[in-house]
Structure 1
Amino acid sequence: MLLLKLSATDLLTLDRRDRLVPHLAARWKRFRGPASQGEREAWAESLIELAKELVAAERGDVQMLVECLPTGADAPVDVMLVGRHPTSGADSFQLIELKRWSSVTRLEADAAEFIVPGMEEPKPHPAAQLSRFHDFLMGEKGPLRGLSVECGGFTYLHQTRDEAVQPLFGPDAPTGPCARCYTLDSREEMLRDLREQIAAEGSATVAERFLQRIGVRNSPLLEAMNNSRGEDTVFTLRGQQSRVAQDVRDAVTSVTGDPSTAPVLTDVRHDAVFIVTGGAGSGKSAIGLQLMAEFQAKGLSVQYASGSRAFNAAMQDHVGYGDRAFQSYFRYFSSYITPPEPRLDVLICDEAHRLRERSTNPRPWMPQGTQPQVDDLLDAARVTVFLLDAGQSVRPKEVGTVQLIEEAAGRRGIRPARYRLQEQFRCGGSETFRNWVHALLGLSQEKPYAWRPDGLMHVEMADSPEELERIVRTEYHAGASARMVAGYSWPWNKPVGPEKHLEDDVRIGSWHRPWNADSKSGCANGVPPSRLWGVRDEGFDQLGCVYTSQGLEWDWCGVIVGEDMVWRNNRWVFQRGKAKRENGLLRIVTPGSHDPKVIASTVDEESFKACVRNAYHVLFTRASRAVVVHSSDPDTQTYLKTLVGKVEIQGLRPTWLNLPEVARRRRPPRQRKKNQSAKKNGQLGLF
């Protein structure tokens, strides 16, 4: 859990915009339930006081991690200050408890507890909680284990004097690196100690490293796989991810080996089925790819199936698999019309929400599916893992649901093991952003509300498509990964002529840009085929859609909202468009969606709305640091600007220049394809 990451200066700016407490309350509700009035008042008073003191100590750029609770800790700490030690240069952490206590009285029955006016229960010495958190951080399972860092802490009672809380300073008070207590009387001493413990500069770099260590910042999928080539460990799985992965490992051991060597998690004799659900960025693919690496290293027969050609093509191109090697391990759902013989040990089905009713083969002379596609997949392996998110189903004929899989497994006498992932690893680890997008698009019970910056994810509006392109292009040329995407609100013409020239289909005023190539091969001027648009440098100048961006992510993403979804009379209105041919090219007649699969007359209105909502959900959640938004509809643009607000906090804008060096992930070069006959330890080293 992490409610907020901001510098002291930016936190004060956020408070002046009246967004601090609402943001913290929304985050608290997600983790702990509704925030009490006392909690709201504490945030409004104590956090502001601490931020002001940091500014007074000339430490306004020091990062404040508010209500930080890494996995494994028993309770959060009010604030963590992170930075560099001014003398040693080591990473420095200060743990802070903020108390609004006016006075304390020692409890006679227990010298370690204190009576605080206004509180029903006795309270322990605040240094005791800080000490436990300190011991966790530095202990065997803590994120700072084995590191050479400076770590201490203190309590700040900012509304009282030494005399009123004298029992806290008694001879039997806790000792150690977190034992210090400051009041109004010792404020100057506290400011001096802050200057001695944390330098004025370098905090952002230390904060970024710490967020990576506690799993808030995760490497993008393709980068993680690229960096771990030849190794069995692709991802560090955390929390729920670890539990799911271990259960799958146990089941695979039971099914493929001696059943007595591992617990059987299902009530089946031979086969096992796992269903893992979770929103975009919840870590589903990380589980699947990590398990595949492990099982492949053990010599098990394992394959990874997906419903996304863009994801598979990006995997092959970016990470550098040879064609034969890739096809041996990465397949499509439609690849199992004829089941493998013998059956696979494990089949991992990513993006299972994209399952179709039946498998079809584009070559009519080849075998065609005769049963539900989900049955093809269950026939293919002894252990099948389905990873899905209903919120990313973007076509009417995508039928993958938990119910569908459970019913198919039930017909075989299998009771699947079900899991739901709640944590957020994409979009900078910002659940604030995920919840905001859900409310914005009507995918949750909440009504749309103003965006509240949290220091993890950045949102801004562009006044024009030219401005959107300028912002995203600037970051791309600086070294960040970036793409521009749009709703399917413009016709998509095939490449023109023998040279396969792309038409500028997306037109907003005088600004014209082409869609990514609608072809299986490259086009004029080095434009890559559609399946490689998201990873080839030559793809930046084209706009992607939901089908070519699903499963991918970039540092910055420009999202153009078209007229398939417009804001009218305080609600979203979804429109089907019409086009006609002019000189051989499709041109808009009626604004709206031009996705032929979605606007078909066979698609009812509710299904149409769901597909459009889910498509924008996918587009909005492709960025890991910043999303820039523009709507081609004036009324919608005005509405979105009222929600997002102006970019006033420059320190929050994660431009390449603003990012600390440790957070700058330059686009890695494409890998050469491996020699198809290359082996490592008797197996092909995929990762």
Structure 2
Amino acid sequence: MYVHRGVIGDVARRAAQSAFIDECTKRFEALHGAEPGPQEIASWQRSWPVLLDALVRAGLGDLDVLLELSLPGTGERVDAAVVGQDADGTLTVVVVELKQWTWARPSPGLSASLEVGGRTVPHPARQVGGYVHYLRDWADGGSGVRAKGTVVLHNAPADLIDRLRGMASAGGPSAEFPLLGRDDLASSVPPEELARRLGCAGLRPAPQDAVDRFLEGRHRPSERVLERLAANIESRRHFFLIGEQDRARLAILDAVKQAAAHRTPTDGQSRPGAMVLVTGGPGTGKTAIAARVMGDLCGTAGSNPRLLTPSGTLTRQLQRLLSEDARGLVATFKNKNPGGLDKSSVVLLDEAHRAATYPDQRGPGFPIVLRKLLEQVAVLVLFLDERQIVRPTEGLKADELEHHAHATGAAFRRIDLDTQFRCNGSQAYHHWVDTLFSETDTPPPWSGSSYDLALADDPNTLASWIDGHTARGHSARITAGFCWPWNATDVPPLEPEVAIRWHGPDHDERSWARPWNLRSEQPVPGFPDVPARPYWATDRGGHDQVGCIYTAQGLEYAFGAVILGPDLVRRRDRWQAHPEASHDARQLRTLPPERYRFYARNTYRVLATRATRGTRLYSTDPETQAYLASLLPGS
């Protein structure tokens, strides 16, 4: 997706016109479901004409330009991309990062970061490098496209450019990407030299069908983040985080470095470990960041890291993908700490909101197992989303963690992730889902085009949608609230316990049923199409079973269907909870409705944010289904 596509010469003649900016503003809103902010529009007006003028003066007016190009499967947008054909006929995409900076200085607390206008931002060469490596690795399956990158700081004086180049020339990956300042774009620069500086020397116009294939082509799947994690840890140089993900990684590593420097106190008193809290909603890349940092720590001399998660499903996925190297280093965190930890250890606790903290049994104190873990290690890094707490026996809050750190004298740093990379990178969809399952708010009718969202008329329609995507080779799954019995044994064939009855348009009674996923932790021989519980979301045959919150949380797939059961229904302008409809008797069924509603809303929010490309909703309650129909198009 892009805000504008055109030939550079034509776009250059229109870029400064208010009608052109209005057109781009409308296009942006249609794509992302919200208007661009005033600052973003102002940056278009200031930067686009300068870039386009330089490209025309460089003799590149016949090439294509894409303004505000969205990278598929992420929440990132490239300021501009010049598209042409190299001498050997390869389609070449030159990513251009535009900055209006006149001043910047290195951040004293974070390496490879800068302070600009009261904000801490990554070095622009690192930022553009993330985009370039994304295109190299994912565009057209990692083949058929040549990607380059350039940073244009069109207001920057020569001394600032020299400092930025000095930071990027230390042998790291950022050194590959040129930084151009005000003087580099001067009218006195010959066209050939200007084209070289812009990274576009030798490019000629590309066939439009080649550009179309680039824009419409299937990128290497980003839906299985665990495959990325395996490649990251086993071959870290080939895994690049994008935008704020990379900033979070650098901040974590900086906190680890500071903790190491103060590990041996001069007063002889033992100090608690430092705490780093990384917060973010579904799809913001928390697990990807944890794995990348784990890879960094594994390559650091003298380190003793662990990657823990309360989710047995996620642990097993990681262990399987990381092979024998993960044994002892990647583990499930329940009610005791792993052995071998010491004051050189850094522990990364992914899915920290699922930690078994038993709030009803611990009283006012901090969870004992977490307190001991913090006392035992150098740094504890927690990845948290409070709105994914789905059980009364789990859950941590950011305020609680910060209070404990201050009370014990532990160093504390918080990093908030806003950009999400699931759900096709659609911030509009995530905002809509958050509003839908909020306590009091009502979302507007869905009008975004950045994500495939609709209402299924009935379970048959919902299942057909899933089966169709599966037949085309996509990962697709059905999930449901825990509102049906789950009495099946660990041995297939599985009983179709998720059974729904409804009346069709002619008032005829209809029925649909499918089994829950397999209970067993291991595959059952002779049933290759019935994956073990930890692998339901990723392995062959999972689309034929229904997953619940405990199976799906922490994982993702391309297309997802969510069945809302009778435990959460819409009445007037509020959600009502019916815990008696839950079959989770051990955890939830006995809760009062007011308390159950919190967990039910979180549960369905989690289920509705598992799919990277499209979601279908369906409620078994007719009144709730009618409410959803007032907000969503039909499938």
Q: Same fold (TM over 0.5)?
A: yes
Number of residues of Structure 1 aligned to a counterpart in Structure 2: 504
1:217-260 CA deviation, whole Å, 9 max, x = no partner? 95632121344463134742233322332232233234346889
Q: Which amino acid in the other structure matches residue 449 of structure 1?
A: P
What is the match of residue 611 of structure 1? 599
For residue 34 of structure 2, give the secondary structure of its aligned residue in structure 1: helix
Match of 1:238 among 238, 242, 245: 242
Alpha-carbon distance between aligned partners in 2 of 1:379 and 1:311, rounded to the nearest angstrom: 26
Structure 1 partner of 2:371: 375
**Residue 623 of structure 2 corresponds to residue 645 of structure 1:** no
Give the deviation of 1:371 after TM superposition.
Answer: 5.9
- State how far apart, in whole Å, the 2-side matches of 1:372 and 1:249 are: 26
Q: Does 1:28 align with 2:35?
A: yes
- 1:352 equivalent in structure 2: 352
Relative to structure 1, the CA distance from residue 495 to residue 246 in structure 2 (aligned partners, 3 Å threshold; closer, same or farther) is: same
Cα distance, 1:337–1:231 mapped onto 2, change above 3 Å: closer
- SS of 1:531's equivalent in the other structure is helix
Residues 1:202 and 1:605: Cα distance change in structure 2 (over 3 Å) = farther
Matches within 5 A, 1:6-17: none
SS in 2 for 1:540: helix
CA contact (8 A) 1:314 1:535 kept: no
Is the partner of 1:395 in helix, strand or coil?
coil
- Counterpart CA distance in 1 for 2:85 and 2:595 is 53
Other-structure match for 1:514: 515
> Partners in 1 of 2:211 and 2:576 — Cα distance?
45
User: Partners in 2 of 1:633 and 1:641 — Cα distance?
Assistant: 12
Cα distance change of structure 1 residues 27 and 3 upon mapping to structure 2, 3 Å threshold: farther
Q: Measure, in 2, the Cα distance between the counterparts of 1:330 and 1:270.
A: 23
Q: How far apart are the structure 2 equivalents of 1:326 and 1:141? A: 29
The 1:515–1:557 alpha-carbon spacing in structure 2 relative to 1, beyond 3 Å, is same
Task: Quote the offset at 1:598 in angstroms.
Answer: 4.9
Q: Contact conserved, 1:490 with 1:505, CA < 8 A, in 2?
A: yes
d(CA) in 2 for partners of 1:86, 1:633: 61
Compared CA separation, residues 241 and 469, structure 1 to 2 (3 A): same
Q: Quickly say closer, same or farther: Cα 1:306–1:626, change in 2 above 3 A.
A: same
Q: Which residue of 1 aligns with 2:413?
A: 417
Counterpart of 2:447? 452
Work out the CA distance in 1 between the residues paired with 2:574 and 2:376. 46
1:550 aligned onto 2:542: no
Question: Take 1:334 and 1:401, find their aligned partners in 2: how far apart are those partners?
Answer: 18
Letter in 1 for 2:279: T
1:333 aligned to 2:333?
Answer: yes
| Structure 1 residue ranges without an equivalent (≥5) | 8-14, 43-61, 98-135, 153-171, 180-195, 261-267, 360-368, 578-591, 648-687
Contact 1:274 1:416 in 2 (8 A): yes
Q: What one-letter code is carried by the residue in structure 2 that aligns with 1:628?
A: R
**Root-mean-square deviation (Å):** 4.9
Q: Which amino acid aligns with 1:423?
A: T
| Corresponding residue for residue 206 of structure 1 | 214
More displaced 10-residue stretch of structure 1: 617-626 or 629-638: 629-638
Secondary structure class of the residue paired with 2:479? strand
Alpha-carbon distance, 1:149 to partner? 7.1
Q: How is 1:398-547 mapped onto 2 (pairs within 5 angstroms)?
A: 398-442=394-438, 446-455=441-450, 457-495=451-489, 499=491, 501-509=493-501, 510-522=511-523, 525-526=527-528, 527-547=530-550
Alpha-carbon distance between aligned partners in 1 of 2:371 and 2:454, rounded to the nearest angstrom: 45
Matches within 5 A, 1:587-626: 592-601=581-590, 603-626=591-614
Q: Deviation string for 1:297-328 (max 9, x for gaps)?
A: 225111111111111122223x1524xx5440
Q: Residue 634 of structure 1 corresponds to which residue in structure 2?
A: 622
Counterpart residue identity of residue 495, structure 1: T
Instruction: Identify if the C-alpha distance between structure 1 residues 424 and 175 changes in structure 2 by more than 3 Å, giving closer, same or farther.
Output: farther
Q: 1:342 to 1:500 in 2, by over 3 A?
A: same
Q: What is the alpha-carbon distance in structure 2 between the residues aligned to residue 566 and residue 397 of structure 1?
A: 24
Q: Which amino acid aligns with 1:206?
A: F
Distance 2:417 2:272 in 1: 26
Secondary structure in structure 2 of the residue aligned to 1:357:
coil
SS of structure 1 residue aligned to 2:229: helix
For residue 618 of structure 1, give the secondary structure of its aligned residue in structure 2.
helix
Matching residue within 277, 283, 306 for 1:275: 277
Q: Is the 8 A contact 1:487 1:545 kept in 2?
A: yes
1:373 to 1:150, Cα distance in 2 relative to 1, 3 A: closer
Displacement of 1:646 in angstroms is: 4.3
Which amino acid is the alignment partner of residue 519 of structure 2?
D
Larger radius of gyration: 1
Residues 504 and 513 in structure 1, CA contact (< 8 A), matched pair in contact too: yes
Distance in 2, Cα, partners of 1:463 & 1:305: 41
SS of the residue 1:331 aligns to: strand
Residue 250 of structure 1 aligns to which amino acid in structure 2?
D
Contact kept? 1:391, 1:614, Cα under 8 Å: yes
The offset of 1:428, in angstroms, is 1.3
Q: CA–CA distance in 2 between the matches of 1:285 and 1:143? A: 20
The 3 A distance-change label for structure 1 pair 143 and 521 is: closer
Paired residue type of 1:427: C
Q: Distance in 2 between matches of 1:239 and 1:281?
A: 14
Measure the CA separation in 2 of the matches of 1:203 and 1:86: 16
Kindly provide the CA deviation profile for residues 578-600 of structure 1, in whole angstroms up to 9, marking residues without a partner as x: xxxxxxxxxxxxxx332224533
CA distance in 2: counterparts of 1:576 and 1:383, whole angstroms? 39
Q: Do structure 1's residue 576 and structure 2's residue 579 form an aligned pair?
A: yes
| 1:395 alignment counterpart | 391
Q: 1:151 to 1:334 in 2, by over 3 A?
A: closer
User: Does 374-383 or 332-341 show the bigger shift?
Assistant: 332-341
Mapped to 1, the partners of 2:536 and 2:127 lie a distance apart of 45
Tell me the residue number matched to 1:677: none
Q: 1 CA distance for matches of 2:317 and 2:253?
A: 27
| Structural mapping, 1:28-177, within 5 Å | 28=35, 66=68, 88=89, 90-91=91-92, 143=131
| Alpha carbons of structure 1 residues 237 and 137: separation in structure 2 relative to 1, 3 Å | closer
State the 1:65 CA deviation: 5.5
Q: Assess, with a 3 A threshold, how the Cα gap between structure 1 residues 211 and 447 changes in structure 2: closer, same or farther.
A: farther
Report SS of the residue matched to 2:382.
strand
Amino acid at match of 1:350: D
**1:600 corresponds to which letter in structure 2?**
R
Deviation at 1:508, TM superposition (A): 1.4
Q: Say which SS state the counterpart of residue 616 (structure 1) adopts.
A: helix
Contact kept? 1:6, 1:454, Cα under 8 Å:
no
- SS in structure 1 of the partner of residue 411 of structure 2: coil
Amino acid of the structure 2 residue aligned with 1:516:
N
Offset at residue 511 of structure 1 (A): 1.1
Opposite residue 394 of structure 1, the aligned amino acid is V
Cα distance in 2 for partners of 1:566, 1:605 equals: 12
Aligned counterparts of 1:346 and 1:251: Cα–Cα separation in 2: 10
TM-score (norm 2): 0.66
The whole-number CA distance in structure 1 between the counterparts of 2:127 and 2:318 is: 37
C-alpha distance in structure 2 between counterparts of 1:297 and 1:604, whole Å: 50
Shift of 1:401: 1.2
